[in-house]
Every structure is written in structure tokens, then in C-alpha cells.
Structure 1
Amino acid sequence: MTDTSRVAVVTGAGRGLGAAIATDLHAGGHRVALLDLDGEAATAAAKALDPAGESAVGVAVDVRDPAALRDAFDQVRSSLGVPEILVNNAGRTVPRPVWDIDLDEWDDVLATNLRSVLIATRELAPAMRDRGWGRVVNMASLAGQQGGLVAGAHYAASKAGILVLTKIFAKELAAAGVTVNAVAPAAVRTPVMDAMDPGQLERSLATIPVGRLGRADEVAALVGFLCTEAAGYITGATVDINGGVFMR
């Protein structure tokens, strides 16, 4: 896949899906900023893409902190240029029964997963609108479509909120050439699954029509496509990638 070289920002890019998405965008010719709470992981992932640091940089940031996020974007502008692609991927997953979630944990999960999408998009999308081109992709989840599933209610609620926020921003920005879409993965092999009970994982695998778990690079390729010129007529959409677990 080739496309005009742009500056892309991926949050939660130190590992897992975020790192895979950053890798795909970089392979597509983009300059990529990898943001993560774990600055060392973000830097290591960026160096793996470009040891010289000219087309990939890692930035340590807590997406729950609006001021820190704005400072991180300033670093990106200084090192790579003005971002025209934003992938809101940062997230926190806490499997816990709804009855056992304390309010501080609820607020923290929503601040990480949902509020950060609002802040990051409001910070970067105006410049995209002014330039007449931009791509925003928000990472949702099957949990936000069907309920908590394995993840906690706060995680599911945050991902459901992302679906609505995606539509709102899509309507606001469509006329300016900026698309905003959500991607809803499920049954994808990520580091989060390492903590799952093997028996539970096996039972989950049996419910997947394609008969296997998804791969991070498959999700990344979908996100990468939504960031291309060819995807300019897709906006406000939630694109499922779940092996047939949820069909509609």
C-alpha cells in the first residue's frame, strides 16, 4: 500500500495493537509518532521502525492528563510535523464484575479509553480541517457493541462511548475532507490475553466461526486502509473485525 506521506500519531503504541498499527502506517510511508504511558516501550518500538529517529519517534505521555497530551503533540509537531492522521488506541482493560468496580477505577478507565479520544481529536482535528484532509481512527471493541463480555462494564461503556463520539466528530468534519471511523476488534491475540484463564480462552476460541484468533497485523492493515486516500468515502462507520463472532 502506498499513499502520500503524512504525519501519524498513534496512542498506546508501545506494544500490542498500537505497535502493529504504527508499524503498518510506517510501512505505508508515513512518519509516525508512537505515544504511550510506557515511554521506554514507545521509544523501543519507534527505534525498531527507524533507528535514526527521522520517521518514527516515541513519546511518553499519560493520555488521562490533558496538559501532558498537548505537550506530547507539541513534541510531535516539532520532530515530525503537523499530524494529519490520528489513531486513538490507548486503553485500559480491567476484567471485573460490575458490582465490584469502585468509582475511582470507573473514572480512570473512562478517562483513559474515552476522554482521551475527545481531547486528542479536539486538539489535532482542527488543523486537519483547516488543511482540508485528515484521518481519525478510534479503536473500539465488540465489548462496546454487545456488553462487557470478558472485559469490565467500565471498559465496555467506554468503547460504546467511542462509537457515538466517532459519529459526532464524523458529522462535524466530513465536509472538510476529514474522516472519522471506528474499528471494533474482537478475538484478536494481544498481550491482554496472556492473563486469561487457558480454559476460558479455549472456550472463546470455539465460538469463532473462522476457527482461529485474529492477528494484530490484520487489525493494523484495516486501520491503515482507513487512513488512505482510497477510504475517503468512509466516515462515521464502525468496521468490525472479529472472525465472524458478531455479524450484522
Structure 2
Amino acid sequence: MSPHGIGETWEDDTHRVVLVTGAGGGLGSCIAGRFFDRGYRVALTDLDEQTAAKAATELDPTGQNAVGLALDVRDKDAFVRVRDQLVERWGAVHVLVNNAGYSKVEPLMDISPESFDAVVRTNLDGPFFGCQVFGAYFAERGYGRIVNIGSLAGQNGGTATGAHYAASKGGVATLTKVFARELGPHGVTVNAVSPGPQDLPVVRDSVTPDRLAQIEASIPVGRLGRPAFIADMCLLLAAEHADAVTGACWDANGGLYMR
């Protein structure tokens, strides 16, 4: 029996297919671009379809190996629709990267129920629904890779993020283990990558320059993280020969959190 299911090998697929959520910009687009460069067919999804389509066109103007689709990760049925679209378009999906996230900086005691719910629905419900829908699909095929994007905030409670963001990312780490245990016997691995502060516009826009300088000074390696390396970590966890790693959380935080 092959690692992909009875009779199935990579040679049966012209290209491996990856779905990256929240890929209209930032870290998600970086991850999608890395997979594309490695020969994957890439589905870039975003809440805004035009944003996703623009990012996909920038990767592949021909539209043959990259497509931008609308996906509201708070809606389980939306994952089902996108899965079916991709299977119809490219025949299969092999990798899911749950990257979509929502960060909001608010004082702890000022977080309203509505604000808490909005952050958690994107950051925790989204990966849960994605793992459910694609986990079942991958398990039926006998092969799949899921990579969840967590955060240092989910491990240390956060320093420059809101409590709702930190709590939701802590939940992602636990969901990763739960789904890894459930899906492991079916040839599906589920792992998480937990970045520290990254050199991204969203980070620079969410904190003041003085506060950002303080954060950089507190990082043992002395600089913000490189998004391209996070993308490389996702690629490695998605590899065919990565089957020995599941339920893991790979840290990339410049030494801010050591364990």
C-alpha cells in the first residue's frame, strides 16, 4: 500500500494541489507563492474574492496553476464548496494550510463579547472547519497534509496582541493535536507552525514604531521573523516524506519562547 492510498502514487497527479486560506496578502500570499514556486497548483482563498483573484493572477497570469477563490472560513459549508471546486478543477487536493487570521489589539478589560467572538470565529472556528472538511476528504483518499498557522501569542499569552487573539491561537495548538490523533491512522498529518512577530505590514501597522523597536530589542536574535522561512516550514511539513511528524508545533520566534 502506498502512502497515498491503495494504487495511488504522486505520479498519478500532474501537480500536487494546495489550498491556502487568507492568501490575499501578507503571510498567506508568501506561503502560496512558495508552494507555487515548488511546482504546486495553488488555490489562494480570501474573504474578498477580488483580492484572492488578484494575488493568484500575480502568481500565474495564465490561471492554469493558480486560482483565487472566495472563502469565509467562519462558514463550514464554504470549505465544502471550495473543496468541490478544486476537485472539479484539478482532480484532487493534497494540502491545506489554515492561515486565515484576524488580529485586534485591545486592552484586556475592554474586549466586548462581540469583539471576542469576531476574533475567535476566524482564528479558531476557521481551522476547525477546515480540518473537519479536508480532514475527512484526505482520510477517504488515504493521504493528506494539514498545516495550521498558530502564533507565539498562543503559547505565552501574547505581548502586542489582544487576549482574544492569544486565546484563539492557543486553541489552534490544541485542535492540531486532536485532529492529528484522529486522522493519523488514515495517512493524514496535522501540524502547526507558531511564528513570533514577523516582518509584515500587518505587524508594523498594528504597533507604534517605539513599541516595535522595543519588541525587536527583546528578541534574542535581534530582528523580526522572515515570512519566507515560515513558508519553507509549511512546505516541509507538507512534503510526502513528512509522515513521521504529526501533532507537532514548530516554533519560529527568534528565541522569544524556548521549550
- TM band (smaller chain): over 0.9
Structure 2: which amino acid aligns with 1:125? G
Find the counterpart in structure 2 of residue 231 from structure 1.
242
Find the counterpart in structure 2 of residue 51 from structure 1.
61
Find the counterpart in structure 2 of residue 222 from structure 1.
233
Task: Structure 1: state its 5+ residue gaps.
Answer: none
1:146 is aligned, of 156, 160, 163, to 156
Find the counterpart in structure 1 of residue 3 from structure 2.
none
Question: What is the CA-CA distance between 1:139 and the residue it aligns to?
Answer: 0.4
Is contact 1:4–1:29 with CA below 8 Å preserved after alignment?
no
Is contact 2:19–2:95 with CA below 8 Å preserved after alignment?
yes
1:82 is aligned, of 92, 99, 119, to 92
Find the counterpart in structure 2 of residue 168 from structure 1.
178
Task: Structure 2: state its 5+ residue gaps.
Answer: 1-12
Question: What is the CA-CA distance between 1:206 and the residue it aligns to?
Answer: 0.5
Is contact 1:141–1:185 with CA below 8 Å preserved after alignment?
yes
Question: What is the CA-CA distance between 1:168 and the residue it aligns to?
Answer: 0.4
1:133 is aligned, of 122, 143, 149, to 143
The C-alpha deviation readout for 1:143-174, integer Å capped at 9, x for no partner, is: 00010321111101110000000000000111
Q: State which drifts further: 223-232 or 64-73.
A: 64-73
Find the counterpart in structure 1 of residue 253 from structure 2.
242
Structure 1: which amino acid aligns with 2:252? I
Find the counterpart in structure 1 of residue 34 from structure 2.
24
Find the counterpart in structure 2 of residue 211 from structure 1.
222
TM-score when scaled to structure 2? 0.91
The C-alpha deviation readout for 1:65-102, integer Å capped at 9, x for no partner, is: 23333223322222233211000000000011121111
TM-score when scaled to structure 1? 0.95
Q: State which drifts further: 146-155 or 67-76.
A: 67-76
Two-structure CA RMSD over aligned residues (Å) = 1.5
Is contact 1:32–1:56 with CA below 8 Å preserved after alignment?
yes
3-state DSSP of counterpart to 1:57: strand
Question: What is the CA-CA distance between 1:4 and the residue it aligns to?
Answer: 8.1
Cα 1:4/1:179, change in 2 over 3 Å: farther
Question: What is the CA-CA distance between 1:141 and the residue it aligns to?
Answer: 0.2
Is contact 2:220–2:254 with CA below 8 Å preserved after alignment?
yes
